[in-house]
Amino acid sequence: MTEPVTVQLTDGTIRGRQRDDHQSFQGIPYAAAPVGELRWRAPAPVEPWSGVRDATEPGPPAPQAAQSFAATSSVDEDCLTLNVTVPATPRAGRPVLVWLHGGGGTNETASTYDPRRLAVTGDVVVVAPNFRLGVLGWFGHPGLDGSGTFGLQDQQAALRWVRWEIARFGGDPANVTLVGESHGALTVAAHLTAPGSAGLFHRAVLQSVFGALDATPAHTFMPGIPALPPMWSPVAELEQLGAAVAIEHGWVKPGSDPESALAQLRRVPVADLLPASGAFIRPAFGGAVLPESPADALPAGRFHRMPLMLGTTRDEARFFVGLAGNPVTADSYPQLLAEAFGDSADEVAARYPLDRFATPSLAWARVSTDRAWARPVWELGQALAAHTGTWCYEFADEDAPVLIPGFPTGAQHGSELAYQFDLPGGPALSAAQQELAEGMNRYWTAFARHGDPASPGLPDWPGAGHVQSLAPGRIGAVDYVTEHSLDFWARMP
């Protein structure tokens, strides 16, 4: 059954859909379209509308080119909209989850993730915004106010919208949990230290955050990718990069002063900008929006104190090794080790000998998972736990649905999302996986409600020093340090 349902907002009335167990409202504008002179500026207020605005279809995805890991494409800059999902039974004071999608900082859209099960199972309101990505979200240039933070500012605008409007949907604006996966989790880490985000959320969940604290050795993010710095860019460095890229692509005439250059850049067609998006995924620090690198601020305790959850999937790097499309071989494995770890390569090879693994690609995926994902997330969790209540998890379903055809899936990067959300054309879960999915959503929403994932009928989830393993029929403690050889990696590059 589907019926129309209306809500009166500050800027006008919207009409969404009432279904059997939930209501959904999609494509709600939370800021003005960042087009023309508003491109690469802080989000501006929405222009109020008269009549009833249809909110039954999602707004356009942020501009992006399709990738092998994400089929969505768009050149529509009018993308600052959000979706709201709420249980059908009217009630005030529900906890609010704000979902920040992943996609490498260049791709994906909120509507990919249908949060009905999350909302209904946990009796919460779920808000999912779109925000600027890639070259439109994280670009920098001399003279550009807010260089490298436009995506972050969009998310802050969405959180302010939640503060003003969410009570109209039965949500509690004083109980907001910010949840992000992958690049979305990276931006959650930024919000924890951004002055303008203070008070806009009250708990946070970081799922599979990458590169938040330190550098990543060559090839351990993906075979063929050189060593990576932390995922934060000094604003001066980003502006220098942006100026060079603008000249290289012919967007700006050489010798232009900053004001003229920015005017030229705002006239460049979106489709011409998108090929450069991959160079602009690192939020910039050193300006008013993000004064300090979170890599320095988080371990030092300079962040907004609140309950936190964070974790990884057990086989994170299988996604990226499979995505690379170039299998690791017995001959290339020693070369990758040498380029990643230098004088320590032999020690790593002895710890991860090829005869322990079905294929060299799986061996490299285990090395990469342990060094590039498990070690830094464990270190981040330990640093955060020194200052605030912190709960850690590992998604560990070894039979999770296949994301990269032809490559053994395991619990690879992003595989937990099919358990939390309904994905378009997504895989069917077995009965045991459905039970795990319900348990995970109960943990996540209990955390949103109380700041602690403890939930009646589910295994206990202690705090500091405990990692909760999440697998069908096997929820409980895991020795994360031993499983991922973290004592070994603590003395490696």
pLDDT tens, residue by residue, 197-222: 999 999 999 999 999 999 999 999 99
Do β-strands 3-8 and 13-18 pair in parallel, antiparallel, or remain unpaired?
antiparallel
pLDDT tens, residue by residue, 443-477: 999 999 999 999 999 999 998 789 999 999 999 99
Judged against a pLDDT cut of 90, whether residue 403 lies above it is answered with no
Domain spans of the chain, in order of start: 3-489
- Cβ contact 154:137 at 8 Å: yes
Confidence of residue 69 (pLDDT cuts 50, 70, 90): confident
Adjacent-strand bridge partners of 395: 313, 470
Judged against a pLDDT cut of 80, whether residue 404 lies above it is answered with no
Identify the sign of the CA torsion 162, 133, 447, 443: positive
Cα three-residue angle 384-386-389, rounded to 5 degrees: 70
Confidence of residue 70 (pLDDT cuts 50, 70, 90): confident
Judged against a pLDDT cut of 80, whether residue 330 lies above it is answered with yes
pLDDT tens, residue by residue, 359-374: 999 999 999 999 999 9
Confidence of residue 233 (pLDDT cuts 50, 70, 90): very high
Judged against a pLDDT cut of 90, whether residue 350 lies above it is answered with yes
pLDDT tens, residue by residue, 124-151: 999 999 999 999 999 999 999 999 999 9
The whole-angstrom separation of Cα 143 and Cα 88 is 48
- Cβ contact 128:99 at 8 Å: yes
Biggest alpha carbon–alpha carbon distance for the chain: 69
pTM for the structure as a whole = 0.97
Beta strands in 381-440, from DSSP E residues, in sequence order = 390-395
pLDDT greater at residue 426 or residue 421: 421
Type of residue found at 350: A
Q: At what angle do helices 183-193 and 150-165 cross, to 10 degrees?
A: 70
Catalytic machinery residues: 182, 316, 413
Type of residue found at 440: M
Min mean pLDDT across 369-373, 405-409, 439-443, 487-491 is at 405-409
Query: If you classify domain 3-489 with CATH, what class do you get?
Result: alpha beta
